[in-house]
Structure 1
Amino acid sequence: MSVSVVDPVDAAALIEWSAAIRRSCVEDRVGAWWPSDESVLAQFADPPSGRRRWALVYHADDGSVAGAADVAVSDGDPAEVTVGVLPEHRRRGRGTALWEAARELLAEHSPAVVQSETWSAPGVAFAERIGLSIANSEFRMLRDSASAAPDAPAVSGVDVVAWTGAVPDGLLGDWVRLNASMRDDVPLGELTRRATVIDPDWVRAHEKRMSDQGWILVRAMARAGSRGVGYTVIFVARDGDEIIVQDDTFVEGAYRGRGIARLLKAENLRQLRSVPAAAAARWVQTSTAVDNSAMLSLNRAIGFEVADISYALEGPLAIS
């Protein structure tokens, strides 16, 4: 029995690793998205600048994969560790062995804290045993992708521009500003925020990475006159997938309470009808902080229902 690091250029081994961690984290959860093999291979082939990532596998006596861990760290940010053990191999120390191997890899990078995510009470209990504690909780919500797009009343003085793919050059400045505000404003509970610098180069590099990973970006921006005041993003797998991912939705503080977020989401859900790859989907998935009452209310009003809860945990790398 041993823990080893997958060679990042070994496509077959990375796919086997991804399948193991997917099964351990997604099994028995309805409509739970997980990265495709194409996405995983692209992520390891072209990581963001300053980011290190390792795929760990735990092999049982017969050579089969019994568990896996995803370990990553970026300059100046908390490390990220996700540990998954296949159901038939649990409660035998596999998770602890993977965690200890992750700690050894991260030690030389000296991150101040480690963050992890789980979707189960046993997962929380394991994380607490290794020194982490719950820092934020989110509802994972699902909407039937076959449902008609919701209605949204017009908002006086506000129009919505929608598109797929790269941000048009004329909207790039507003997109950068709104994304930077979103990073500072999104509810994260007690989680340490990441120090992401949002600028035009970051946006274009992000768009390229997402395209390389097989995603179609479906987006909309709300504008009051010539100023962008809100945006929303949906990710659709280019080759078709059961899950469509509703990602960020953000409205500037001065424009909240006027129905702009609903207008944005409704327009982007309508736009999905013109994306052929979206036809393969069964669900639209989104996540909302459990204490974000305004967004929870909006999501329920447009047809999302709670599927489960994810727990973000944080703690020190070294346990004294």
Structure 2
Amino acid sequence: MRITRVDHADDGALAAWHAAMFAGLGAGRDDPPIVSLDDVRVTYRTPDTSYLHEAYAALDGETVVGTGQLEAPLRDNPRYADVEVVVPPEHRRRGVGAALWDALHDRCLELRRTTLGAEIHQPIGAEPVPGWAFAARCGFVHKMTEVRQRLQLPIAAERLDELEAHAQQRIGAYTLRSWQGPCPDEYAEQYARLKGLLATDAPLGDLEYEPEVWDVERLRENERTAAAQGRTVFTTVAVSPAGSLAGHTQIGVGDKAHQWDTLVHRDHRGHRLGLAVKVANLRILTETRPDLRTVGTWNAPDNGPMIAVNDALGFRPIERNEEWQRIES
């Protein structure tokens, strides 16, 4: 067995890598939100000034028996990197994961990345997945839990009307603005700043992570990548009486729909803006894409206000996403 970095320009190598990754990440899970091969091609072949992306394959002869990924921020968090080790069930307990981890760890040290993050997907009600023991052996510590939830579509228009009326009781002079695709120029600077708050204003548990640096350049680059992946991004923002952006929500739609950011600025909380923007965005989504059957989302259990909003909308938990970290001494 040997570990090799995947050539992003090699269609065959990237397809074999994705197939093994899909088999490993999807094992034992309910409708796992795994990126498509087309998305992977765009991610690895599109210039990105915000993240370094590298893919690794464990090869037994010419067969990919395991995959690794490394993602390192380039604009902020200079000592941080996310790593992922995936082994399909039929190739486990042969040292494949350990060999991939060694290669990723060496590369992180080469890049001077000393705070490493990893994610483990734990179906609710199931026995602990093998990733728990593996992460602990590799020196990772469990730092935070997020709950993956799913909403069945369509939502009855009457239910959306009820929730909209509930939000309107507190919304006062705030107004809502929605769009599909790129952010309008008039809001771009404000919106970039608002997106940058998510990494620190949303609950992080015990994770060690520095604020992200967002500007219009990063926002536009992010939008171009989404468009290249064939995604339509539905956005709704709340605008304060003074004209500043007070909160926002986004849903990214390719073959499936996934809730992305939702955040209300700390200075504007208490007006049911989170509920207001999510109801408005979901209404537009269901009217525009009646073919969609589900929306997925992730939230920390201690994010009480957002959990309450999701419960009211009808989201139901299906999986825990466990966030682990290793910090080099």
The TM-score with structure 2 as length reference comes to 0.89
The equivalent residue for 1:267 is 280
CA deviations on 1:273-315 (whole Å, 9 max, x unpaired) are 343xx44433200000122122112111111000110111111
**1:77 Cα deviation after fit:** 4.1
* Distance change in 2, residues 1:190/1:29 (3 Å): same
The equivalent residue for 1:60 is 60
Aligned partners of 1:131 and 1:315 also within 8 Å: yes
Mean Cα displacement is larger for which, 160-169 or 247-256? 247-256
The equivalent residue for 2:49 is 49
Structure 1 runs of 4+ with >6 Å offset: none
Gaps of 5+ in 2: 123-127
Is 1:231 equivalent to 2:233 in the alignment?
A: no
CA deviations on 1:21-65 (whole Å, 9 max, x unpaired) are 12211233223211121211111112422643221111235x322
Q: Secondary structure at the match of 1:119?
A: strand
Q: Secondary structure at the match of 1:196?
A: coil
* Distance change in 2, residues 1:109/1:119 (3 Å): same
CA deviations on 1:78-109 (whole Å, 9 max, x unpaired) are 11111111011112211111101112222211
Is 1:74 equivalent to 2:86 in the alignment?
A: no
Equivalent of residue 152 in structure 1, options 150, 158, 164: 164
Specify the code of the residue in structure 2 equivalent to 1:116. Answer: A
What is the RMSD of the two structures over their aligned residues, measured on CA atoms? 1.8
Q: Secondary structure at the match of 1:83?
A: strand
Equivalent of residue 95 in structure 1, options 74, 97, 112: 97
Aligned partners of 1:30 and 1:307 also within 8 Å: yes
Specify the code of the residue in structure 1 equivalent to 2:272. Answer: G
Is 1:302 equivalent to 2:304 in the alignment?
A: no
Specify the code of the residue in structure 1 equivalent to 2:325. Answer: E
CA deviations on 1:109-156 (whole Å, 9 max, x unpaired) are 111211111113321211011000111110000001223363322222
The equivalent residue for 1:244 is 257
* Distance change in 2, residues 1:296/1:96 (3 Å): same
**1:232 Cα deviation after fit:** 0.4
Q: Output aligned runs, 1:1-320, within 5 Å.
A: 1-49=1-49, 51-60=51-60, 63-75=62-74, 76-120=78-122, 121=128, 122-148=130-156, 150=160, 151-153=163-165, 154=168, 155-225=171-241, 226-237=243-254, 241=255, 243-275=256-288, 278-316=289-327
Aligned partners of 1:31 and 1:283 also within 8 Å: no
The TM-score with structure 1 as length reference comes to 0.91
Specify the code of the residue in structure 1 equivalent to 2:94. Answer: R
Specify the code of the residue in structure 2 equivalent to 1:71. Answer: L
Give the aligned length: 311
Gaps of 5+ in 1: none
Q: Secondary structure at the match of 2:69?
A: strand
Mean Cα displacement is larger for which, 187-196 or 306-315? 187-196
Percent pairwise identity: 29
Specify the code of the residue in structure 1 equivalent to 2:308. Answer: S
Q: Secondary structure at the match of 1:295?
A: helix
Aligned partners of 2:27 and 2:88 also within 8 Å: no
The equivalent residue for 2:125 is none
In the alignment, the residues of structure 1 paired with residue 307 and residue 222 of structure 2 have an alpha-carbon distance, to the nearest angstrom, of 28
In the alignment, the residues of structure 1 paired with residue 266 and residue 188 of structure 2 have an alpha-carbon distance, to the nearest angstrom, of 20
**1:234 Cα deviation after fit:** 0.5
Aligned partners of 2:7 and 2:13 also within 8 Å: yes
**1:20 Cα deviation after fit:** 1.3
Aligned partners of 1:219 and 1:231 also within 8 Å: yes
In the alignment, the residues of structure 1 paired with residue 58 and residue 199 of structure 2 have an alpha-carbon distance, to the nearest angstrom, of 35
In the alignment, the residues of structure 2 paired with residue 301 and residue 279 of structure 1 have an alpha-carbon distance, to the nearest angstrom, of 21
Specify the code of the residue in structure 2 equivalent to 1:256. Answer: R
Mean Cα displacement is larger for which, 66-75 or 39-48? 66-75
